[in-house]
């Protein structure tokens, strides 16, 4: 038996707990004894359970003194004899020992050691080859290979970047040759650091023990802190090593390098091992060589056809850093982290493929792995082949996909809800439900309607290159023999009728989501024959294979029995009396709604059963409930209003899981679940109230009816339920579906959260409508004395497109008038729209709260522009960008201190003054500076402004905002492809509603200046991502800055080509400087061929091109 004893000297910090877990993992003790834990019983129990022990005894600390703990595995029995503040006395009984004992019996081990010495036995270490596999018996055919993998923890080594740079710069040749040479260099380098890795940890632990036992002075304390930091870094490398293998969202799941992640890695390894297969001929095979041969043959036959074959940085952004790499072994992390070294070669190679039709070469080779579809699969059809492509291949493919995004909605039929931005899977669910609801109610008429649910066998794997080539044509893609094309052709010829959800609604021939398909047509011999011909043509042309044995057909009640018999016989499919589930949700829901969604409860329970409570801390349980359990019913809740009793039952399952102390053990519910559903700033844990969550998700569907009236699902519902009105004024109606009743019930929520956006003002009532932000319910109070029938247009100067200031100030109270004058009006009139409301709580907490204001004023080490910038994120990033390293350290510690004070005020009912917080920040920074920690060099470069292409003009904008006086100034600068300033501008805007509006105003000024410069090719850049997205979106904007966005959309017709690009603050410093300085000085200016004196140095720096 092995035990571990440690005088821990406080176990409260995460680092100390992390180190304890590391020691337990390293030594694998059966029993652990800890001294000076300085924790209470509850916290101590969490610690030893996190270390993986089943049982424990805790002696609670008195304040910050003392504290003992003993924990042990379930294989041994420990009986407590006595305990006090200074000791724990126990008797231990092991499984293989009959008697209990108190102290170690060293004689057995001494006898064993003496036996080893007498027999001259010793450990000879590792022996064997280091290759993954070996094949071939002859010298010329022998292959010995060990697959290269770029390890994520390598990036924490300071020497890695130097190795990559030296190898890259020393190698001449193609990108593939450079990566091949780099593989060899990294393998040699990794052997060195891997050999030193374990030895280094042991060395650091010994040094730490020696320093802890020795006498203390300033140098010893500094060395002690440095050794701890170095050891923690080595432990972090272990965490990253297991993170890459567990394939889990590491930091999101709450725990760190615990048994859960080791178990995940081992479970994946066991699940992915194929030990037995049954071939297509029914022969059972177990030999590895036979399995390999059968698998290769199966998928070679499946993939029998050969293919014809803003890059780089933009494409890499959306890739998971440590997702499985291709055959070259380099994951996306390598390219993301070391783009400044390899980026130029990667960009040239990818552009050569895209623009010059160069060959991929070996980058087009793909590793295919098999993912089991079912538990313990025995047939190869039960595996899903997944291609592990190289990152270079993914970059090229993602670049093409990014370019297609702008036109893909015009290329793909409306009935296909997948693959297109803005179309949702819930659209198809709602459409299918409405059509099936109409079909099921069709009880009269001579012609019945049928719905055929198709099952396509491995739809994506069977696409033939000949089909792709035929579609591509000579110069452009043409309409080919796809399923949508064939059905549309048949409809134009009057051969196929389709189905409607209502008389006035659009005809729907089929619904598609990826490879899930439902076909609608006339239930007759003629309709079935036509449908069969279409499917046969589709199979021949595309290579697809319809699995008729798994396909089903559903008939309307008015279909005659003769047709019900001939259709399934002709199509060779079975009849479904009740439509089966489509995309996982029921197509028909009767009165027993709870039974229709019983599978949600089953899925939640199964998910909980698959997890071991021993592996999850209480924090891990919180994340598990929020991220996994409460996400399970999200899809169903987005389409249907679940019974309230079902929601309560879900919450009961969540509560039982939260409070239970072990698998199958009920715990005490110390408070109601509703208390835990409160936000954290109100003392709860932020769990979802499932009924309210259900209503919110359904309200989003109602909002989509308003926001996207041209979508297919909006057209179907409007034609059926609110043909002559809009969703907010709709009636429930008769013979309505369960889906419509669910969405209609959320109208009240939408109305409460909506406000009129002023356009012409002719539709908005001054008294009754919500149109003034920051007022109670956004409606005017009793100060208005005019007629209740008056419209907002009466206080607008329609010619100048501005408010009638004198009328507003005379008619309304001072506060209301000030808020009305801040409402932006578009220079070009447009209709009044309804939009949503918002808030900015983070900015108030960290910057505008009186306590925070006092703290920032007292911290003279930091000079912040308190009233500038758009929102919390921009204020944060701009402050860090403008501050020096020392000031930035003060700034970050101050933010942390404010957050800590906020938590103490809420949870512990104690708080500090702004001056006390400032003093704490100074002392803490002083302590940090005295510690002299190990500095890890960062390879991340600060982004700089980029020159536009030849004959293209680039306009940068930024907005500065004064929250007290509600003033804003835009900073706008125009430059050519050489970086020369063509013009710069700033002007003062009064009565600006928010920093958000200030950014939109700045963008509007940039567009105006672009028109004045009379250049047809313009790039407009800004650091407000929301504003840039709104400018790119051509649909009407319903937000509070919609007036400015409407003007920008109208003015785009003046340009031949105009692009809106988002950039970081460091790339937009010139416009930012002009905006902030103009606001400080409250000045307006327009300069040709230059910028103000204070910005000249920044302009010169931006004009310099980065060296190649």
Cα(918)–Cα(890) distance, integer angstroms: 10
**Among 1024, 1031, 983, 981, which residue's Cα sits nearest to residue 1004?**
1031
Identify the pLDDT of residue 611: 65
Cα(110)–Cα(114) distance, integer angstroms: 6
Residues 846 and 831 in one domain: no
Residue 196 lies in a domain: yes
pLDDT tens column, 429-447: 898 889 888 888 888 878 8
Long-range contacts of 713-716 (CB under 8 A, 24+ apart): 713/427, 713/430, 713/431, 715/505, 715/506, 716/431, 716/434, 716/501, 716/502, 716/505, 716/506, 716/508
pLDDT tens column, 225-273: 777 777 777 777 777 776 666 554 434 444 444 555 555 555 555 566 6
**Among 820, 790, 786, 824, which residue's Cα sits nearest to residue 805?**
820
Residues 419 and 556 in one domain: yes
SS3 84: coil
- The residues, ordered by sequence, that sit 6+ positions from 492 with a Cβ below 8 Å of its Cβ are none
Q: What is the mean pLDDT of residues 275-300?
A: 70
Identify the pLDDT of residue 471: 59
- The residues, ordered by sequence, that sit 6+ positions from 122 with a Cβ below 8 Å of its Cβ are 116
Residue 268 lies in a domain: no
Q: Is pLDDT larger for residue 28 or for residue 419?
A: 28
- The residues, ordered by sequence, that sit 6+ positions from 587 with a Cβ below 8 Å of its Cβ are 432, 433, 436, 579, 580, 581
Residue 476 lies in a domain: yes
Instruction: Compute how many other C-beta atoms are within 10 angstroms of the C-beta atom of residue 696.
Output: 15
Identify the pLDDT of residue 463: 63
Identify the pLDDT of residue 934: 42
pTM of the model: 0.57
The two beta strands, 55-59 and 510-513, are unpaired
The torsion angle over the Cα atoms of residues 784, 786, 787 and 790, rounded to 10 degrees, is: -80
Which of 99-103, 239-243, 733-737, 1037-1041 is predicted most confidently? 733-737
pLDDT at 933 over 50: no
| Domain that includes residue 249, residue range | 149-256
Cα(143)–Cα(136) distance, integer angstroms: 6
pLDDT at 745 over 80: yes
Instruction: Compute how many other C-beta atoms are within 10 angstroms of the C-beta atom of residue 1033.
Output: 13
C-beta separation of 894 from 912 below 8 A: no
Write down the H helix ranges in 502-587. Answer: 525-542, 561-571
Identify the pLDDT of residue 395: 86
Identify the pLDDT of residue 786: 65
Here the tokens at position 576 are 């479904």
Q: What are phi and psi of 831, to 5 degrees?
A: -65, 155
Residues 379 and 437 in one domain: no
Here the tokens at position 595 are 């039974």
Q: What angle do CA 1024, 1026, 1031 make, to 5 degrees?
A: 100
**Among 426, 424, 716, 740, which residue's Cα sits nearest to residue 589?**
740
Cα(983)–Cα(1010) distance, integer angstroms: 10
Identify the pLDDT of residue 973: 95
Residues 162 and 227 in one domain: yes
**How much of the chain, in percent, has pLDDT values that exceed 70?**
79
Pick from 210-224, 272-286, 520-534, 542-556: least confident: 272-286
Residues 420 and 397 in one domain: no
Burial class (CB in 10 A: 0-12, 13-18, 19+), 130: exposed
Cα(335)–Cα(318) distance, integer angstroms: 12
Residues 423 and 553 in one domain: yes
Cα(752)–Cα(327) distance, integer angstroms: 55
C-beta separation of 946 from 1062 below 8 A: no
Residues 345 and 292 in one domain: yes
CATH no. for residue 99? 3.60.10.10
Q: What is the mean pLDDT of residues 963-969?
A: 87
Residue 133 lies in a domain: no
Here the tokens at position 288 are 């590895």
C-beta separation of 861 from 918 below 8 A: no
Identify the pLDDT of residue 281: 63
**How much of the chain, in percent, has pLDDT values that exceed 90?**
10
Identify the pLDDT of residue 932: 43
Q: Is pLDDT larger for residue 1055 or for residue 826?
A: 1055
Domain boundary residue, one of 404, 425, 453: 404
Q: What are phi and psi of 385, to 5 degrees?
A: -75, 130
Question: Radius of gyration over alpha carbons of the chain, in Å?
Answer: 34
Query: How far is CA 851 from its chain centroid?
Result: 34
C-beta separation of 879 from 864 below 8 A: yes
Q: What are phi and psi of 522, to 5 degrees?
A: -75, 130
pLDDT tens column, 859-892: 777 766 544 445 677 677 767 766 777 788 888 8
Domain boundary residue, one of 871, 896, 931: 931
Cα(19)–Cα(2) distance, integer angstroms: 18
Q: Could you tell me which residues are beta bridge partners of residue 168? A: none
Residue 266 lies in a domain: no
Domain boundary residue, one of 630, 662, 688: 688
Query: How far is CA 524 from its chain centroid?
Result: 48
List Cα–Cα distances, 95 to 72, 92, 354, 614, in angstroms: 13, 10, 68, 22
Q: How many domains does the chain have?
A: 8
Residues 108 and 175 in one domain: no
pLDDT tens column, 114-160: 777 777 676 554 444 444 445 555 555 555 556 677 787 788 787 88
Cα(1032)–Cα(760) distance, integer angstroms: 24
The b-or-e profile of 336-359 (16+ CB within 10 A means b, else e) is ebbbebbeeebbebbeebeeeeee
Residues 1039 and 993 in one domain: yes
SS3 1092: coil
Residue 126 lies in a domain: no
- The residues, ordered by sequence, that sit 6+ positions from 778 with a Cβ below 8 Å of its Cβ are 755, 770, 771, 772, 837
The torsion angle over the Cα atoms of residues 717, 721, 725 and 729, rounded to 10 degrees, is: -110
Residue 975 lies in a domain: yes
Identify the pLDDT of residue 128: 46
Residues 1091 and 1031 in one domain: yes
Residues 525 and 648 in one domain: no
Identify the pLDDT of residue 307: 35
Residues 547 and 426 in one domain: yes
Residue 764 lies in a domain: yes
Cα(96)–Cα(580) distance, integer angstroms: 57
At 170, which helix (H) or strand (E)? helix 159-170
SS3 291: helix
pLDDT at 64 over 50: yes
pLDDT tens column, 451-491: 888 877 655 556 666 666 665 554 445 454 455 555 656 55
Burial class (CB in 10 A: 0-12, 13-18, 19+), 895: middle
SS3 808: helix
């Amino acid at each position: 038996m092995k035990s571990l004893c440690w005088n821990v000297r406080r176990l409260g910090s995460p680092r100390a707990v992390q180190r304890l877990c590391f020691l337990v993992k390293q030594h694998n003790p059966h029993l652990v004894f800890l001294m000076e834990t300085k924790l209470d019983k509850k916290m101590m129990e969490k610690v030893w359970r996190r270390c993986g022990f089943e049982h424990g005894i805790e002696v609670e600390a008195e304040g910050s003194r003392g504290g003992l703990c003993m924990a042990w595995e379930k294989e041994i029995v420990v009986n407590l004899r006595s305990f006090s503040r200074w000791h724990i006395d126990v008797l231990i009984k092991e499984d293989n020992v009959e008697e209990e004992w108190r102290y170690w019996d060293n004689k057995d081990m001494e006898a064993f050691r003496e036996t080893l010495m007498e027999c001259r036995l010793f450990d000879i270490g590792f022996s064997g080859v280091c290759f993954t596999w070996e094949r071939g018996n002859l010298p010329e055919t022998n292959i010995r290979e060990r697959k290269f993998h770029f390890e994520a923890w390598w990036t924490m080594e300071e020497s890695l970047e130097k190795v990559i740079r030296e190898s890259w710069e020393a190698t001449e040749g193609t990108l593939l040759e450079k990566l091949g040479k780099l593989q060899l260099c990294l393998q040699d380098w990794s052997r060195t650091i891997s050999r030193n890795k374990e030895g280094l940890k042991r060395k650091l632990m010994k040094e730490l023990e020696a320093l802890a036992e020795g006498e203390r002075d300033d140098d010893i304390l500094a060395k002690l802190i440095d050794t701890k930091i170095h050891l923690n870094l080595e432990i972090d490398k272990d965490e990253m090593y297991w993170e890459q293998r567990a394939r889990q969202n590491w930091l999101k799941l709450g725990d760190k390098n615990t048994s859960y992640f080791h178990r995940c890695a081992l479970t994946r390894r066991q699940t992915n091992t194929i030990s037995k297969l049954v071939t297509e001929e029914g022969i059972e095979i177990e030999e590895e060589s036979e399995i390999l041969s059968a698998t290769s043959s199966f998928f070679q036959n499946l993939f029998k056809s050969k293919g014809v074959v803003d890059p780089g940085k933009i494409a890499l952004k959306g890739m998971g850093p440590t997702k499985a790499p291709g055959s070259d072994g380099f994951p996306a992390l390598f390219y993301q982290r070391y783009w400044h070294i390899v980026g130029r070669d990667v960009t040239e190679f990818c552009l050569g493929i895209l623009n010059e039709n160069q060959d991929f070469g070996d980058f087009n080779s793909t590793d295919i792995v098999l993912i089991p579809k079912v538990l313990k699969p025995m047939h190869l059809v039960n595996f899903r082949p997944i291609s592990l492509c190289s990152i270079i291949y993914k970059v090229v493919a993602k670049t093409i996909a990014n370019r297609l995004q702008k036109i893909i909605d015009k290329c793909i039929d409306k009935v296909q809800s997948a693959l297109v931005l803005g179309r949702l899977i819930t659209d198809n669910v709602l459409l299918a439900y409405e059509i099936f609801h109409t079909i099921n109610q069709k009880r009269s008429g001579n012609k019945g309607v049928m719905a055929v649910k198709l099952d396509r066998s491995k739809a994506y794997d069977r696409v033939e290159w000949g089909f792709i080539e035929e579609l591509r044509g000579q110069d452009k893609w043409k309409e080919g023999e796809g399923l949508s094309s064939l059905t549309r052709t048949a409809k134009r010829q009057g051969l196929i009728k389709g189905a409607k959800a209502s008389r006035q609604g659009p005809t729907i021939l089929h619904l598609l989501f990826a490879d899930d398909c439902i076909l609608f047509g006339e239930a007759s011999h003629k309709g079935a024959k036509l449908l069969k011909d279409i499917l046969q043509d589709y199979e021949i042309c595309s290579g697809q294979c319809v699995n008729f044995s798994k396909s089903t057909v559903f008939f309307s009640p008015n279909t005659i029995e003769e047709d019900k018999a001939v259709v399934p016989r002709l199509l060779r499919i079975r009849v479904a009396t009740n439509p089966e589930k489509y995309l996982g949700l029921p197509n028909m829901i009767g009165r027993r709604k709870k039974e229709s969604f019983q599978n949600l409860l089953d899925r939640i329970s199964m998910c909980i059963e698959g997890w071991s409570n021993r592996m999850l801390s209480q924090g891990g349980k919180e994340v598990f409930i929020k991220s996994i359990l409460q996400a399970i019913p999200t899809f169903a809740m987005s389409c249907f209003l679940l019974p309230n009793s079902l929601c309560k039952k879900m919450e009961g399952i969540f509560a039982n899981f939260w409070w239970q102390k072990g698998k199958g053990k009920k715990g005490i519910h110390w408070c109601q679940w509703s208390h835990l559903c409160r936000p954290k700033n109100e003392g709860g844990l932020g769990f979802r109230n499932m009924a309210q969550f259900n209503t919110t998700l359904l309200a989003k569907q109602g909002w989509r009816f308003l926001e996207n009236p041209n979508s297919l699902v909006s057209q179907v519902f409007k034609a059926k339920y609110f043909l002559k009105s809009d969703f907010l004024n709709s009636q429930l109606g008769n013979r309505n579906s369960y889906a419509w009743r669910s969405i209609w019930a959320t109208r009240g929520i939408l109305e409460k959260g909506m406000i009129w956006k002023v356009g012409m003002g002719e539709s908005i009532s001054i008294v009754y409508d919500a149109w003034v932000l920051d007022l109670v319910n956004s409606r005017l109070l009793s100060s208005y004395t005019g007629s209740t029938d008056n419209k907002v247009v009466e206080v607008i100067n329609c010619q100048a497109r501005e408010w009638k200031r004198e009328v507003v100030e005379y008619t309304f109270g001072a506060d209301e008038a000030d808020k009305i004058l801040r409402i932006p009006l578009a220079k070009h009139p447009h209709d009044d729209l309804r939009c949503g409301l918002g808030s900015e709580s983070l900015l108030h907490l960290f910057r505008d709260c009186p306590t925070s204001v006092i703290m920032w004023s007292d911290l003279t080490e930091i000079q912040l522009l308190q009233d500038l910038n758009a929102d919390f994120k921009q204020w944060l990033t701009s402050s860090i960008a403008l501050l020096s390293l020392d000031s930035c350290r003060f700034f970050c510690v101050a933010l942390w201190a404010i957050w800590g004070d906020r938590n103490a005020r809420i949870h512990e009912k104690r708080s500090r003054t702004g001056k006390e917080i400032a003093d704490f920040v100074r002392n803490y920074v002083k302590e940090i500076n005295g510690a002299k920690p190990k500095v890890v060099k960062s390879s991340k470069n600060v982004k700089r402004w980029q020159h536009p292409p030849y004959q293209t003009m680039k306009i940068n904008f930024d907005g500065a905002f004064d929250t007290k006086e509600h003033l804003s100034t835009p900073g706008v600068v125009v430059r050519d492809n050489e970086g020369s300033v063509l013009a710069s501008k700033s002007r003062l805007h009064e009565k600006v509603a928010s920093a958000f509006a200030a950014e939109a105003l700045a963008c509007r000024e940039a567009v105006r200046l672009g028109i004045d410069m009379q250049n047809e090719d313009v790039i407009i850049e800004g650091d407000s991502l929301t504003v840039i997205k709104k400018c790119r979106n051509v649909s009407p904007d319903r937000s509070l800055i919609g007036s400015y966005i409407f003007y920008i959309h109208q003015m785009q017709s003046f340009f031949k080509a105009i692009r809106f690009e988002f950039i970081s603050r460091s790339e937009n410093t010139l416009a930012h400087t002009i905006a902030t300085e103009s606001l400080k000085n409250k000045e307006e200016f327009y300069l040709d061929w230059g910028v103000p004196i204070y910005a000249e140095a920044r302009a010169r720096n931006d004009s310099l091109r980065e060296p190649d």
